[in-house]
Amino acid sequence: GARDRALFEFMYATGARVSETTVLNLEDLDLEAGTAIVTGKGSKQRLVPLGGHAISAIAEYLPHRLELRTAGSDSGAVFLNHRGRRLSRQGIWGILKRHARHVDLDLVSPHVLRHSAATHMVQGGADLRTVQEMLGHASISTTQIYTRVTPEHLLEVYMTSHPRSR
């Protein structure tokens, strides 16, 4: 449904950790500016872009979110479970596993969305420092773990940048 799409689009667009996604509040979103404030490890906050797909998915989900909210719910949380409470880490895992089963995917975890976001940004030409900032890594060596270079990309970069490639 709308919540799950918004959840996955947010996590992929921002590269947010599961723990960062569970603590996301409505006040952290600025859909007009296309940004979110993500609270990471050590309560460090960072501003991340959302991108068009995530903005659309979240905007579509928010009216449904009001229906999920109940009297005793955590009214500030962006992502709510069917009882109107803040989605937990386990809740996000369960949602992802359920969707993965429908499309016959194995070895899927919320961390795969983070890894994919980083890898796709690097493959698209982003520099490691920018990806490091977006993911909230203290050390660039951590960011390098996420960024496997495909053989195709290596060959393409070699052919366009090495003076002896021709």
> Does the annotation mark 114 as catalytic?
yes
> Does the annotation mark 12 as catalytic?
no
> Does the annotation mark 101 as catalytic?
no
> Does the annotation mark 137 as catalytic?
yes
Catalytic residue among 3, 65, 86, 137: 137
Report CA dihedral (89, 32, 117, 130) to the nearest 10 degrees. Answer: -120
> Does the annotation mark 44 as catalytic?
no
| φ, ψ at 117 (rounded to 5°) | -60, -45
Catalytic residue among 3, 65, 86, 114: 114
Handedness of CA 6, 12, 16, 22 (dihedral sign): positive
Catalytic residue among 89, 98, 111, 153: 111
- Specify the amino acid at residue 103: V
Catalytic residue among 3, 12, 17, 86: 17
44 in Cβ contact with 138 (< 8 Å): no
Catalytic residue among 41, 97, 98, 153: 41
Residues designated catalytic: 17, 41, 111, 114, 137, 146
